[in-house]
Chain A
Amino acid sequence: EDQVTQSPEALRLQEGESSSLNCSYTVSGLRGLFWYRQDPGKGPEFLFTLYSAGEEKEKERLKATLTKKESFLHITAPKPEDSATYLCAVQARAGGTSYGKLTFGQGTILTVHP
């Protein structure tokens, strides 16, 4: 069974204090790992897709990295507007095809104080 665990559950930072969020996963053949941002009462907003170990992607103050067992979302010099819940999800290969099922972690709630 595919599993995704995110840590910490909650993270409080001061503005400008860089840190990392962790996503550990077990999956029977990784097709892709996804990061989303979710604001309270809204739907998740897509950030990144990572496909293979060693891959990195960046967007503004965010950088996502991938190893064979985990992914990190690095936040550099965060601002209060980066406060949100960050969700990690994995998609497994299934017999060479995939209907796109995502297995989600429970999320990390990030709060950035000014």
Chain B
Amino acid sequence: DGGITQSPKYLFRKEGQNVTLSCEQNLNHDAMYWYRQDPGQGLRLIYYSQIVNDFQKGDIAEGYSVSREKKESFPLTVTSAQKNPTAFYLCASRGGGTDTQYFGPGTRLTVL
């Protein structure tokens, strides 16, 4: 089945630790995105990548880093510099000549 997978589903982090969230897609999409969702707020763009080996900052990139070494994979690292990392993180991809972004199931990150 084609789709987007994110792992883990739940992640707990101690203050001062870096953690990496996984996002994989087998849709052959060129573009991939990371969003953050907080209660009562809309999704906010963290980073995006339109092609392998290239990525750009979104609206709230501070404290996050990404890489895009393979078309299928776009991991997000939440660094210790991120002041308030507890949130629901969503990965999306877009391709096939359409504007539609398709989302993965999400990772809920909690800082202890």
Contacts and interface: CB of A to CB of B under 8 A. Distances in A.
B45 interface: yes
A91 B99 contact: yes
A43 B31 contact: no
B45 A105 contact: no
A77 to B, nearest CB: 27
A49 B90 contact: no
Interface residues of B, number: 26
Contacts of A42: 105-106
Contacts of B4: 43
A34 B100 contact: yes
A107 interface: yes
B104 A43 contact: yes
Interface of B: 4, 6, 31, 33, 40-45, 48, 50, 56, 58, 90, 94, 98-106, 108
5 contacts: A34-B100, A46-B101, A49-B100, A102-B45, A104-B42
Interface of A: 4, 31-32, 34, 36, 41-46, 49, 87, 89, 91, 98-107
